[in-house]
Structure 1
Amino acid sequence: MTTGDGSLTFFSAEFGQAFHNLSGAAQEAREKFVRPCRLDRLPLERDPSQPIHILDICFGLGYNSGIALETIWQVRPDFPVQVMGLERSPEVPQQAWQAGVGSGWSFHREWQEFIERGSWQSERWQGRLFWGDARQTLLQVPLAWADAVFLDPFSPSACPELWTVEFLRAVAERMRPQGYLATYSCAASVRAALQEAGFRIGSTPPLGRPWPGTVASPQGQDLPPLSEMEWEHLKTRAAVPYRDPTLQGERSQIRLRRQQEQQGSPLEPTSIWKRRWQQ
């Protein structure tokens, strides 16, 4: 389907959700992922002997990584970049390419080979795609590797296994201390899980909907602050995070574990928070 900015997205029958905000898939990639991770500034600050490392979790149609490359090279055209993408199977990226995603990018021929082969290597950039459950393929990413992480699964209620404290802790271990993680989600469960996993968190502006996204960093430098309303949300039962101690749990088990923890939580009911801020 075509989104508001003319870019394409797909709909997942399994998850019952579109892959992107319908106001604009390309715009979402730029404003919710690339810019919050400072990739429009990092090439100016970085020695070109140190490539920028991007970890794209739930690579999907490829917009986040592709627009990141475009953005970096608009600032410094030959700056070296390395991309690692985690995706369930080659099907979605390949269908996206066949539908035209990436065909207008200046590096579209390289992108085509990257998508079709699952890897690319040149002097300017390297890329590799890992297929399968991201909880397992993440283990192939080196520790302390990523400058920027795009966390882009389906919603926490639909895909809880990729929003757990344990998964996010494993992501944090693969980031450089000064790196940034960006996601479209502002769910209290996600933000609380990020905090428990060792991140400091900030809020990104709304885009195509009334609520913001989230940017996080192990060191927490220069993060845009959360509002008082957002901080109070983290003191309600909505902030009980998803947990998956073995990183192998079934979705139903992960949901049930959270429901049970919420039922026994001393935190304020979320309904009270909503009434307070709706007045």
Structure 2
Amino acid sequence: MKEYNKLFKKEITEDGSVTFYSEEFDENFHSKYGAKKESEITYIQGCKIVEKLQSKSSVKILDVCFGLGYNAASALEIYQKIKPSSHLEIIALEIDEDVIQQTINHNLLSFWSQETKEVLTFLAEHKTFINQSYSLQLIIDDARISLEKLVNQKYQFDAIFLDPFSPPKCPQLWTVEFFGLLSKCLANDGIIATYSCAAAVRKAMQLNGLNIASNEAVGGRAPGTIASFYPLPPLSLKELEQLETKASVPYRDTDLRGRAPSILKQRENEQKNSSLESTGKWKKRWSKSNKVY
């Protein structure tokens, strides 16, 4: 039996699907409101995967932080359901191979079809899967390094699923520079979707020329974010004003090799020296207001 570098604790979410808890990051891999639901709402709906499969001859998806494989699984399920004539290509980035291996060993893919389960099981072992309808590639490395290579290969993705641990836990994948790489490999009509609505994340997107909008919320969670080069529905006044507070000071990683503590410290120093409105003042002002969020 394979020995793992770390073991993940199973957590049942509100839709009945199971996720893992990471001791390293002190976070679950998915929303407590539903792991499967999050993959379907935040990423499949957020990136308009159904519409893209029905209107394009080829759809390319970049899955950043593959994790348990649920986002890719949901994309495969949609493909199998609507049976489009388009070809689907998924490139998944993940740094910890143990996650998907333990997902398979714990039979957590049982929430998806047998076909999807077999595809992802094969992918976990061989790192590639190809048939006439779709292809998948799993790259095990630091996502920053993998993404640099994809940019150099001139990849253009129709959808990007951005699903790292939260910015305070994994800031290196939420920086201005990382979004710079993402924007370079995003197609003109492509969409980036994420669960995060952090002002620092949204500001980093804007600094790379992306338009932003709120993504649909999952359960009681705050709405996520979608980003694209084309116009999107406007943010609320409250959200717009938050982007002018110290909370919007973005994470930076100039050489794309920084470690989390140094990235966090640099942002903390920038916030201290910033003349922007404090986040506390913004929150207090809105708590007294009867304006609609």
Runs (4 or more) in structure 1 with deviation over 3 Å come to none
Is the partner of 1:216 in helix, strand or coil?
strand
- Name the stretch that deviates more: 164-173 or 112-121: 112-121
User: Within 1, Cα distance between the matches of 2:188 and 2:218?
Assistant: 28
Confirm or deny: 8 A CA contact 1:135 1:162 kept in the other structure.
Answer: yes
Confirm or deny: 8 A CA contact 1:55 1:148 kept in the other structure.
Answer: yes
Residue type matched to 2:174 in 1?
Answer: W
Corresponding residue number in structure 1 for 2:109: 102
User: Within 2, Cα distance between the matches of 1:81 and 1:94?
Assistant: 24
Q: Does 1:135 align with 2:134?
A: no
- Stretches of structure 1 that go unaligned for 5 or more consecutive residues are none
Q: Does 1:93 align with 2:104?
A: no
User: Within 2, Cα distance between the matches of 1:138 and 1:257?
Assistant: 23
User: Within 1, Cα distance between the matches of 2:155 and 2:96?
Assistant: 26
Residue type matched to 1:28 in 2?
Answer: E
Is the partner of 1:138 in helix, strand or coil?
helix
User: Within 2, Cα distance between the matches of 1:126 and 1:144?
Assistant: 15
Aligned-pair distance for 1:33?
0.9
Aligned length in residues = 274
User: Within 2, Cα distance between the matches of 1:3 and 1:170?
Assistant: 33
Q: 1:58 to 1:82 in 2, by over 3 A?
A: same
Residue type matched to 1:220 in 2?
Answer: Y
Aligned-pair distance for 1:210?
4.3
Q: Deviations over 1:132-153 (max 9, x none)?
A: 2111111232334211000101
Confirm or deny: 8 A CA contact 1:164 1:244 kept in the other structure.
Answer: yes
Aligned-pair distance for 1:78?
5.1
Q: Does 1:84 align with 2:91?
A: yes
- Name the stretch that deviates more: 227-236 or 134-143: 134-143
User: Within 2, Cα distance between the matches of 1:106 and 1:43?
Assistant: 21
Corresponding residue number in structure 1 for 2:218: 207
Residue type matched to 1:278 in 2?
Answer: S
Corresponding residue number in structure 2 for 1:116: 125
- Stretches of structure 2 that go unaligned for 5 or more consecutive residues are 1-10, 289-293
User: Within 1, Cα distance between the matches of 2:184 and 2:278?
Assistant: 33
Is the partner of 1:82 in helix, strand or coil?
strand
Q: 1:63 to 1:210 in 2, by over 3 A?
A: closer
Q: Does 1:168 align with 2:179?
A: yes
User: Within 2, Cα distance between the matches of 1:210 and 1:2?
Assistant: 17
Q: Does 1:194 align with 2:194?
A: no
Residue type matched to 1:196 in 2?
Answer: L
Instruction: Give the counterpart of 1:147 among 158, 163, 180.
Output: 158
User: Within 1, Cα distance between the matches of 2:261 and 2:118?
Assistant: 42
Aligned-pair distance for 1:220?
2.4
Corresponding residue number in structure 1 for 2:167: 156
Instruction: Give the counterpart of 2:72 among 47, 65, 68.
Output: 65
Instruction: Give the counterpart of 1:227 among 233, 236, 254.
Output: 236
Q: Deviations over 1:82-124 (max 9, x none)?
A: 1111101211011112222334324232221112211111111
- Name the stretch that deviates more: 133-142 or 169-178: 133-142
Confirm or deny: 8 A CA contact 1:192 1:240 kept in the other structure.
Answer: yes
User: Within 2, Cα distance between the matches of 1:187 and 1:143?
Assistant: 29
Aligned-pair distance for 1:186?
0.2
Aligned-pair distance for 1:205?
2.4
User: Within 2, Cα distance between the matches of 1:143 and 1:270?
Assistant: 39
Q: Does 1:254 align with 2:242?
A: no
User: Within 1, Cα distance between the matches of 2:84 and 2:191?
Assistant: 22
User: Within 1, Cα distance between the matches of 2:146 and 2:227?
Assistant: 22
Instruction: Give the counterpart of 1:24 among 17, 30, 34.
Output: 34
Aligned-pair distance for 1:232?
0.5
Q: Deviations over 1:54-106 (max 9, x none)?
A: 10000000011110121233223453111111101211011112222334324
Root-mean-square deviation (Å): 1.4
